[in-house]
Structures are given as C-alpha cells and as structure tokens.
Structure 1
Amino acid sequence: MKILTIAPYLGSTYGGISKIVTELVQTIGNFGITVDLVVTHANGFNNLDVPLHVWIPEKNYRVQYFSCWYHNDLIISSSLSNWLFHHVTDYNLVHTHTIFAPLISLTHWLCQFHQIPYIVTPHGMLEPWALSYKAWKKHLYYTLIEKQALQRASAIQGTASSEVDHIMSLGFKHTINIPNGLNLKEFEVLTEPRIFYQNFPNTKNKVLILFLGRIDPKKGLDLLAPAFAKVHSQFPQSHLVIAGPDSIGFLSTAKSYFARAGCFDAVTFTGMLSGKLKYAALAAASLYVAPSYSEGFSMSVLEGMASGLPCVITNGCNFPEAAGAQVAHVVNIDANAIASALSHCLGNSQEAKEMGDRARKFIFQNYTWEQAVQKLLEVYQTILKNKEINKIRQAIINKKSFE
C-alpha cells in the first residue's frame, strides 16, 4: 500500500491542521505503510524555511515542499500542480486535507481522471458556521466544484460525531468518524511553568485562564471578551492568556474586543507558542477555555484536557463526548454561558481539579494517534479492496469508537 497525503500548508500559523497532518503521517509510517506528504511552504505572512522540490526524509515517511503564491488561505502552486500531474498515479490511494482549496480540488480531479481512490478530511470546513462565513464565495465554490468532488470520494473522514452528522445531513452518506489523537509521550510528564513566567512575568502569581488557538473570527474571542470581563470583576486575580498566531491580520480586532469590555489590562497576548513554552503555558494555567463558534475536532482542546486542566468549551467545539463523560464543561455558544462556567470552576477549585484529572485519564484512554490510525488503515484497506464503506463504518461503531 502506497499512500499520498496532501495538504495546502504545514505552517504552524494555520493552527491544528498542521500538527494533525504531520502526526498522522508519522503514525501511519510507524505501522509500516509507505506514505508520502506533499505540501506548500506557505506560513501566514512568511514562508517556511525549508528545502523546496526535494524529498526530505522524516521518521518513517518523507515530505516534499513546493513554492507557492498565497493570500490568507488562498494558496496557488504551479510547481506542486505540475508534480501532481506527473506523479499522482504512483500511489494506490490519496488522502487530502481541507477543502475549498484549489490545490485540493485539482488533486480530486486528477484522482477521478486516473481512477485513483481518495479520502477527504474537511477538518470542520463543512460545519454550519464555517459554511456561513463568507457564504456567497463558498456556496459558489461548493456548487461548482466541491460537492461533486465530495460525492466521488471513496470516503469522507469526520473527526467528531457531531461533524459526521452535519456532513451526512448534506447528503454524503459515505462518511466515517475517526477522531484526532495525541502523542501521549508529550503529556506523560507535565512541564514546569517556570519558563512561561520568565517570558511573561506579568502573569506570575495570577490565576491563569488559557486560550490556545489561532486569532481568527471563528474562535469566539468576541464572546470571550465580555465573558472574561464578568469573571475578572468577580475574581480579580484571574488573568487571561491568549496564545496563538495571527495568520490573517485579525489581532487588532481581537484586542479591541477586550478593550471595549474593559478588561484589556488583565489579558496577555503571547503570539504563537510552541515546544517547551507551549507546554509551560499549559502547566501555568488553572483553566482552559475554547469559546469557538466552529471546530472540526480541536487539537488544543485535547492538549488542555491531557494536561489535566478543567476545560470550558462550547458545543461548537464538536466534543459532546466530553460532556457525556463529565470531563469538561460544554456550554452554549454564548458569552454568559462561558462566563458562568469559568466562574463556577474558579469558585469550586477542588471540583474543577477533579474534573481535570478525569479529563486527563479520558484522553489518555481514548484519543491516541495509534487508535486513530488503526481505524484509518481499516478504511484504506476497505477502499482498496473495493468493499462498501458502510461496512467499515459499522465495524468501527461495533468497536465502540466515539461515533
């Protein structure tokens, strides 16, 4: 089995998708499958500093970066397009990540032309809020290009049960639920918070609430601002940390939300955090919050829970299983609901700690990349054997996946 994985970007400024794709192909390679990854060097306002147009060997897979032109999320690459024309037939199956992207649409067309099976992972881009954002552009693209490509896919991978329901409501019955996972080695030993305080000394001796994600309209910072203002008036030692990249120039708008809410002095914008500094931020925090309007299946939510943090997330985060297992506060997409849950956690510290402990255990038991890839490889094999995808869906359900 030889698999081609393609995504428009791997730059960290684009958020969780970059981490999902790299960890996914790494784990597929760990199972002895030949997997190649092709991608552009796009990275927000800059380019990735990587060799171009050559294979770079990684552990158990290889990756090739291509030059491109891009504006925000629109990415065009003639070199990658040319490579696909000449090499897509080298593979038994193609796995694409994201939709509403010209490079991905070209890949789907080439797969159809050469009768190569392909599986699509939309990463939340078919969620109701996502479809309503810049709706007229997406409606046109969806009608002319995306709908047919999704219909002809061998399978569509949703990463959350509610996301699968939304995709199937659009008429795509060949949809499966395979959640994202974590590399648990990164969370077995929790990092000391010292280096975070060294870099952001104004946060020391505060009760930190951590938002970890892109500075983007869908992340709900307009809701978090009035919610945190209420929380801070009740708990003056609370301090909000906004940790994430600004890939579309939204930072000034995000800051204005907190200025208008009157709590800007109690907020620290750290920019992108990675490596030890990100884990130190997780260790320094007392609470994690994700006020999102829409997600596929958030990697940062998994990271917060795996770090043992009590988490307040909206139902837009597509994680109803967390509510069912009582390992997070899952609230409506509403500033008052977010504020109430945060205040409850701060006012009931022992209860919150116990919830965080349950969350950590829950993630370790159920959301690993090994578990995800085992299910994904069953899908690959089913597709290549020309079996019905509904059979593999039922097999995954019978194994008590979180579909």
Structure 2
Amino acid sequence: MSLDPPDAPWVKDFPLKVFACGEPMDKASGGVRRPWHRYGYCPAFIPWLKAHTRDYDVVTVHGLWNFSTMGARAALVGADVPYLVMSHGMLDPWFKRNFPLKGAMKQALWWFNEGPLVNNARAVLFTSEEERILARQSFTPYRAKERVVAYGTSDPGPLRPGQTEAFRALVPNLRRPYLLYLSRIHPKKGCDLLIDAFAEIARDGDGVDLVMAGPVSDDYFAELKALAERRGIADRIHWPGMLRGDAKWGGFHGCEAFVLPSHQENFGIVVAEAMACAKPVFITNKVNIWREVTAGGGFADEDDRPGVVRLLRRFAALSLDERQVIGERARAIFLSSFEVSRAAEDLNDACRDAMAGRT
C-alpha cells in the first residue's frame, strides 16, 4: 500500500501487487498542488487501511512524518493486527538540532500521531546500532521496542567489461589514482571539508586526485569550485556529475578508496556499495554504520576539518598492500552485514516474531 499515483510507471513495473491510492499523475500535473499534498494527503488511504488491515498477518510501516503514518496510526494503534515501524533515520536528533522550528512542530505531532504509532509497535526497526541509540534523543515520550536489522544492497560482482571505459569517458583529464566521493553534493555531506582536507594531502605530492561525483546545484557547485581554486587544487578535482550504471561501477572498482564526510547519514548505501567492491572506506562518525565499517573495513573520525584531514592523512599513510587487505575486509563485512539477502532474512524474522508476539 502506498501513496504513489496508480498510473506511475514505477508502480506499473513493480514485480509485486501495489495498492497505490495517490492522485493520478495526469490529474496531479494539471492541477494546483495544495500544501497538504506535500504531506502526502490522500482521502482514500485511511478508509482502505481500516477496511483491509485484517487481511494481513503483519504490517510494516516505512518512514515517519507524512500522511501514511497518520493513516497507520488511525488504522493500526489499538487494532489486533501486529505491526512494525521502520524509521529510516527519521528519528535522528540531527534534524531537531539543525531545524529547531521543524523539531518543535514534530514534537507536537509526536504527542498525538508518531509517538503512539512508534510506542505501540511490536518493534521499531533500525538499520544500525548507532541509529537505535540516536533515536532515543529525539522526542518524548519514547517507549519503543527497539530492534536492529540488516540493511543493504545487492552484490555488484567483479569489474565487468566496459565499466572502466564508461567511467573514464566522464573524467577525460583524470591521470592519477583517485579517491572517490559519490553522493549528492550538498553542504550536509561535508563536501567543503573534503576539498579543504584534500588540499592538505595534495600539497604533499602527486599521489592521488579526487573525483566528486553526484548531482549539485549551480550555486553550491560554484562555491566548491571557488574553494578548490583558492586552495590551488582545482586541477586535481574532477566533476563527472551523477554516475549511473557501468560508469558508477567503473568508478567504484577503479578508486583507491571511498570517502564520505557527511554531517548526518542514516545508513549510506554508497558506503556499502564501495565495500562490496572491496574498497577501504573513510567516513565520519555521523554516518551511522561507522561501527560496522571500523570493524576492519575502513576508518571513521569527527565531521569537522581536523577529523577529515586525519582521515585523508590516514589513507595517505597506508601502503598498497594495506589498502588491499582493508578492502578485502570491507568486502567480507559487506557480505556478512550489508548484502541484500541478509536484510531480507532479518526483516522476515522480525515479521515472524511480531506475529508470534515476540519483540
């Protein structure tokens, strides 16, 4: 069940049955978008849930702070159907600290909507130990029955023919080995810290370049390029834009290491993808899977300039053999913790336990 338009191509192409109760795309595109539509308001959603919830053995609610959770609270709290809530990072206190007005509004919503939904669930599912710990700091009252489950992505496999060429076509001036950043290019991701820190190791020699891959606004792109110019490393940074398909996997497989200096990251699928490609990863301790990463597959430090400088200096100090060993460990961690079949097993176990009355 979702709030998607029923005529959306991703709904039609989905391999399982989807009950999409949103407004049709042709109607939505031609009309005025009301403020409540941004919240996901759909008049058919709550009646459908109340009428059909008991057709299912267990219900999983994905995400918070939208109309689907309001419908879930109305239909599930107090009903005799067990349900789970997967927060997907939406209980992270980072948002409350950085957007206090929104945080106050969410606390009000918590008292009558999200709070009852979360506190009455058979289990609230988190994708890392760090996410579970941080969730306790956001809203009150908080009485969730917490459970950490695996999360991740499919194994991309080894480098395939054409992948390197697809990537290299997007970075024609790249001649050196390189560090890879691949994510949305946004202030939240610590991109300015990365460029500043990279300047510190770049001036020590011609070891590596930096590839900054991802979508970016024109204003922020100009700001980052100006920073690179001021630090004298503009020719050492490459901007291929968004990487997809073969170019993406060519970029992963060809890099020396992967870097993500985010100020907040609930999971970081790109981190798991880099580990799947047997690459050492260097992240901040605000990427919530840092505990798993630092079990042998990479390093984590603070999300400030000194922390990111330490990360890159740590990379520069590694020998080629050490990078290979850490990369092999990273892949082993991916297979044991982040490969998608592990996530499916954990979610199935959580559903079975909910049906059996276990948490």
Normalised-by-shorter TM-score class: 0.7 to 0.9
Q: CA deviation at 1:377?
A: 1.5
Aligned pair in 2 of structure 1 residues 89, 269: CA closer, same or farther (>3 Å)?
A: farther
Among 322, 329, 353, the residue aligned to 2:324? 353
State yes or no: 1:252 paired with 2:222: no
State yes or no: 1:40 paired with 2:12: no
Aligned pair in 2 of structure 1 residues 100, 241: CA closer, same or farther (>3 Å)?
A: farther
Q: CA deviation at 1:176?
A: 0.6
Among 127, 130, 150, the residue aligned to 1:162? 130
Hey, what does 1:280 align to over in structure 2? 250
Q: CA deviation at 1:40?
A: 3.1
Hey, what does 1:62 align to over in structure 2? 17
Structure 2 distance, partners of 1:135, 1:95, is 29
Structure 1 distance, partners of 2:335, 2:238, is 30
Q: Which amino acid is the alignment partner of residue 12 of structure 2?
A: I
Q: What SS is found at the alignment partner of 2:143?
A: coil
How does 1:20-39 map onto structure 2 within 5 Å? 38-39=2-3
How does 1:82-93 map onto structure 2 within 5 Å? 82-87=44-49, 89-91=51-53, 92=56, 93=58
Hey, what does 1:400 align to over in structure 2? none
1:43-86 deviation per Cα after TM superposition (whole angstroms, max 9, x unaligned): xxxxxxx9339962534x234664468899x83445x4424532
Contact 1:288-1:311 within 8 A present in 2 as well: yes
Q: CA deviation at 1:87?
A: 4.6
Contact 1:40-1:77 within 8 A present in 2 as well: no
Structure 1 distance, partners of 2:276, 2:152, is 11
Q: What SS is found at the alignment partner of 1:201?
A: coil
Among 230, 233, 239, the residue aligned to 2:200? 230
Higher deviation after alignment, 127-136 or 274-283 = 127-136
State yes or no: 1:200 paired with 2:200: no
Contact 1:56-1:64 within 8 A present in 2 as well: no
1:378-402 deviation per Cα after TM superposition (whole angstroms, max 9, x unaligned): 22122223x141xxxxxxxxxxxxx
Structure 1 distance, partners of 2:307, 2:98, is 23
Structure 2 distance, partners of 1:219, 1:345, is 19
Hey, what does 2:103 align to over in structure 1? 138
Q: CA deviation at 1:290?
A: 0.8
Structure 2 distance, partners of 1:199, 1:323, is 29
Q: CA deviation at 1:301?
A: 0.5
Structure 1 distance, partners of 2:194, 2:19, is 39
Q: Greater share of strand residues, 1 or 2?
A: 1
The TM-score normalised by the length of structure 1 is 0.73
- Root-mean-square deviation (CA, aligned residues, Å) is 3.0
State yes or no: 1:304 paired with 2:274: yes
Hey, what does 1:12 align to over in structure 2? none
5+ residue gaps, structure 1: 5-37, 42-49, 390-403
Among 34, 40, 51, the residue aligned to 2:7? 51
Structure 2 distance, partners of 1:54, 1:199, is 28
Hey, what does 2:63 align to over in structure 1? 98
Q: Which amino acid is the alignment partner of residue 156 of structure 1?
A: V
Q: What SS is found at the alignment partner of 1:352?
A: helix
Among 286, 300, 312, the residue aligned to 1:342? 312
Structure 1 distance, partners of 2:119, 2:66, is 17
Q: What SS is found at the alignment partner of 2:283?
A: strand
Q: CA deviation at 1:324?
A: 4.7
Contact 2:119-2:144 within 8 A present in 1 as well: no
Contact 2:4-2:11 within 8 A present in 1 as well: no
Residues paired across the two proteins, number: 336
The TM-score normalised by the length of structure 2 is 0.81
5+ residue gaps, structure 2: none
Hey, what does 1:24 align to over in structure 2? none
